[in-house]
Amino acid sequence: MLKISGLTAAYGQAPILNGISLAIHPGEIVTLIGPNGAGKTTILSCIAGLLKNKSGAIHFQDRELSSLEPEAIVGLGISLVPEDRGLFAPLTVLENLTLGAYLRISHTPKSAIKEDLEKVFELFPVLKSRLKQSVATLSGGQQQMVAIGRALMAKPRLLLLDEPSLGLAPLVIREIFAVIESLNRAGVTILLIEQNANLALRMAHRGYLIENGQIILEGSSAELQKHDAVKRAYLGSRETAI
């Protein structure tokens, strides 16, 4: 579904990615783990078209993405939930969710958009009672629900999730990750960045370990969980409450 080959990227003169190659197959959850600053978010930014790569290629369903604008990439079926959630704070929950379908509104019946909203409310029932509430007044967990719901309104085939548990309480994290698993069971392919490596590897089918802009290890989640380097650096705290 997604294939990245020899990807390099930089912010200004500062190199971030150095020859990244990875693949994601339909129906998978694939996780990227590694320290802060390793380049994980930069990979998502390149896929989503928010940062242009210096070299290498990104193919999605045999379509090369590197020259495309973010709007076109969303139209192909890729949605990003960024680390900062990227919500429009003055707008309501309903307005933020509806914005997720902005590419579809001109050619999609209103009834279909409404049906998709109802699917979001099935995943996150609390949002239905807060439709007219500004997202700035929501809790962090509710804001994350809006961010994921907005991405789903674009009907993605590939969902990019950047630190979905960041700053959330354990109970909310469990709820968010239960939804992620249900989305995957329904056929959505997921590329996940998650600070809690234990949680990410328990959920994902496969993973890549990234350090200093390079992939240094890849394998099934079970293989990575058993690897000494991963256990030593990333699995020291098992956070069994989550």
Q: Is residue 101 part of a domain?
A: no
Show the tokens assigned to 164.
């979905």
pLDDT at 104: 86
pTM of the entire structure?
0.92
Could you tell me the two tokens for 131?
A: 């439709």
Q: Across residues 111-118, what is the average pLDDT?
A: 93
> How many structural domains is the chain composed of?
1
Q: Is residue 150 part of a domain?
A: no
DSSP one-letter string for 41-63: HHHHHHHHTSS--SEEEEEETTE
Pure H helices in 49-105 = 70-76, 93-99
In a domain, 225, yes or no: yes
204 part of a folded domain: yes
Q: Which CATH number do you get for residue 193? A: 3.40.50.300
From residue 74, give the alpha-carbon distance in Å to each of 33, 80, 156, 178. Answer: 24, 8, 8, 24
**DSSP result, 153-180:** TT--SEEEEE-TTTT--HHHHHHHHHHH
Question: What residue numbers bound the domain in which 201 lies?
Answer: 1-77+158-163+189-242
Q: Is the confidence at residue 2, as pLDDT, over 70? A: yes
CB atoms inside a 10 Å sphere around CB 24: 21
The one-letter code for the residue type at 203 is M
DSSP summary character for residue 236 = S
Q: What is the pLDDT of residue 241?
A: 41
Query: Over the stretch 118-173, which tens digit does the pLDDT of each residue have?
Result: 999 999 999 999 999 999 999 999 999 999 999 999 999 999 999 999 989 999 99
Residue 234 lies in a domain: yes
Q: Which comes out higher in pLDDT, residue 236 or 110?
A: 110
Q: If you count them, how many residues does the chain have?
A: 242
Element counts in the chain: helices (H) and strands (E): 9, 10
Higher-confidence residue of 210 and 104: namely 210
Pick the closest to residue 156 from 136, 196, 183, 182 (CA basis).
183
Asked, for residue 85, whether it belongs to a domain, the answer is: no
Residue 95 lies in a domain: no
**Separation in Å, CA 68 to CA 49, 58, 103, 105:** 7, 11, 15, 21
Q: Considering the domain boundaries, does residue 170 fall inside one?
A: no
Q: Which residue from 170, 178, 120 is spatially nearest to 140, judged by alpha carbons?
A: 170
Q: Minimal CA–CA distance to 51: which of 64, 59, 62, 41? A: 41
Q: What is the pLDDT of residue 242?
A: 52
Q: What is the pLDDT of residues 34-49, one digit of tens each?
A: 999 999 999 999 999 9
SS3 128: helix
CA dihedral of 164, 5, 73, 71, whole degrees rounded to 10: 90
